[in-house]
Structure formats: structure tokens, C-alpha cells
């Protein structure tokens, strides 16, 4: 067996890189780490809009997506879950990004099993969720499957939601980018509404228009857009 220092060092470097990435993700959970900050207040404003902007019963199953990768959808999903819990709302976060999952990193959870195992019938949803913050149950993605779109489109997703419908005030679904793969459209069609997260510095208008058309094509209800990575006036 090759035990050269170069390969051992390389493995150590990868482990350290993964740990640093996890720590960096956790610092983005600003609503939990710094609840009095201006950013946390912005998330509370988003929460208020969900409470009062919709007549009748507010949307329960909310799918969060973005036109492209790296635009902040997972950050918004995790922080929105925290402020909902802070308002006394019993919330569930499901990481349905079965291609590049990130929710477990925000809450410092392992990703050895998760929603993939629920869809496959190995575990129930209750057996996979954890409560890293009071009032929030989190279901990580689990091992990445070879066929995410097919797995999400089987109808099992809707069955799982129905099974826990009355246990939660809000169910937040972190979806892959809608402009990259079809998974988001599949999930959006089964939710009560979609929050489209846009990066204020890099999202292109054309991408936004195309994503909205794709979501409308499957009958998804667009609840609104969330601007992420907005610079403070002092940064201009």
C-alpha cells in the first residue's frame, strides 16, 4: 500500500478543507449567532411578509430555489427557518438538493443518511430529522443518488409531506437551482409556493425571466423574490 507523505498530506488537507467549509457555512447562520444584527432583521421582515402578505391561509410548504448555483438559496432557507422558530412557529427544513446539499453544514449535522433514505423507504421522516435549534426539525439530504430527478418525481415526496402536514406550521424545502436541473420544477409543483433567491451582485435578468417561465410552466406559485448579497450603502 502506498503510504507516501504526499498522499497522506493530501487526505489531511481535504479533511481540513471540508472542516473549514463547514465552519464557514455555520457563520452564515446569522439569525442564530447574531439575532440583533441588521441582516437578522431583514430575515424577520421576510418572515413578516410570509405571515401577513397572503390572504387566508399562508403557504405551508415553501420551496426555495435560485436561477443558478451559489446565489444564497440554502443560506436563506436555513436563516428563515431560524426566525420562524424564534417566532414560535414549528418548522421543518428538508434538504432536497440531492446534487449539492448544504443544509447540514449550516447546522453542524452529519449527512450519513437523510431524505434520500426516506424516499427509498429505508427510514421514516421522523427517524431522520434532528433538532439543532429549538423549534426546527432538519432533515439532511443523505448520500447523493444517481437519479435525483427520477427519485423526487415518483410521488413519494407528496406522500411524505402529507404524513407530517399537521405537525408543522412551515415546511421549507431547499431545492437545486431551477435554471440548472429539473429537480426544482418537480418540487415546486408539489409545494404551496416558491421563494426565488437572487444574488444582487451576479444574477442575470435573463436567468430570472427564464426561471420564472419554467416555474410557471409547471403551475408553481411564485411567492416572491429574495435578494441575497446586497451591499450595504457604506460598501458602495
- Residue of higher predicted confidence among 100 and 180: 100
- Averaged pLDDT, 181-210: 94
Q: How does pLDDT run across 116-168, given as a tens digit for each residue?
A: 999 999 999 999 999 999 999 999 999 999 999 999 988 899 999 999 999 99
Look up the domain containing 163 and give its range: 5-235
Encode the chain in three state secondary structure: CCCCHHHHHHHHHHHHHHHHHHHHHHHCCHHHHCCCCHHHHHHHHHHHHHHHCCCCCCCCEEEEECCCCCCCHHHHHHHHHHHHHHCCCCEEEEECCCCCCCHHHHCCCCCCCCHHHHHCCCCCHHHHCEEEECCEEEECCCCCCCCHHHHHCCCHHHHHHHHHHHHCCEEEEECCCCCCCCHHHHHHCCCCEEEEEEECCCCCHHHHHHHHHHHHHCCCCEEEEEEECCCCHHHC
pLDDT of residue 235: 43
For residue 110, pLDDT over 90 is answered with yes
Q: Residue 170 maps to which CATH number?
A: 3.40.50.300
Q: How does pLDDT run across 12-57, given as a tens digit for each residue?
A: 444 444 444 444 554 589 999 999 999 999 999 999 998 887 767 7
Domain count, the chain: 1
Amino acid at each position: 500500500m502506498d503510504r507516501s507523505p504526499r498522499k497522506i498530506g493530501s487526505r489531511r488537507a481535504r479533511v481540513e478543507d471540508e472542516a473549514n467549509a463547514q465552519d464557514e457555512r455555520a457563520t452564515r447562520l446569522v439569525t442564530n449567532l447574531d439575532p440583533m444584527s441588521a441582516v437578522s432583521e431583514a430575515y424577520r421582515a421576510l418572515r413578516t411578509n410570509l405571515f401577513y402578505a397572503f390572504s387566508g391561509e399562508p403557504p405551508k410548504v415553501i420551496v426555495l430555489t435560485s436561477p443558478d448555483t451559489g446565489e444564497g438559496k440554502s443560506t436563506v432557507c436555513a436563516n428563515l427557518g431560524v426566525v420562524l422558530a424564534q417566532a414560535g412557529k414549528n418548522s421543518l427544513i428538508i434538504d432536497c438538493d440531492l446534487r449539492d446539499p448544504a443544509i447540514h453544514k449550516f447546522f453542524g449535522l452529519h449527512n450519513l443518511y437523510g431524505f434520500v433514505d426516506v424516499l427509498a423507504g429505508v427510514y421514516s421522516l421522523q427517524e431522520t430529522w434532528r433538532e439543532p435549534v429549538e423549534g426546527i426539525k432538519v432533515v439532511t439530504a443523505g448520500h447523493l443518488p444517481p437519479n435525483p430527478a427520477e427519485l423526487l418525481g415518483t410521488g413519494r415526496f407528496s406522500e411524505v409531506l402529507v404524513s407530517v402536514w399537521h405537525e408543522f406550521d412551515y415546511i421549507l424545502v431547499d431545492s437545486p437551482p431551477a435554471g440548472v436541473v429539473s429537480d426544482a420544477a418537480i418540487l415546486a409543483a408539489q409545494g404551496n409556493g416558491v421563494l426565488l433567491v437572487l444574488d444582487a451582485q451576479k444574477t442575470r435578468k435573463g436567468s430570472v425571466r427564464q426561471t420564472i417561465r419554467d416555474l410557471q410552466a409547471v403551475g408553481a406559485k411564485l411567492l416572491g423574490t429574495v435578494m441575497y448579497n446586497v451591499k450595504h450603502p457604506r460598501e458602495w
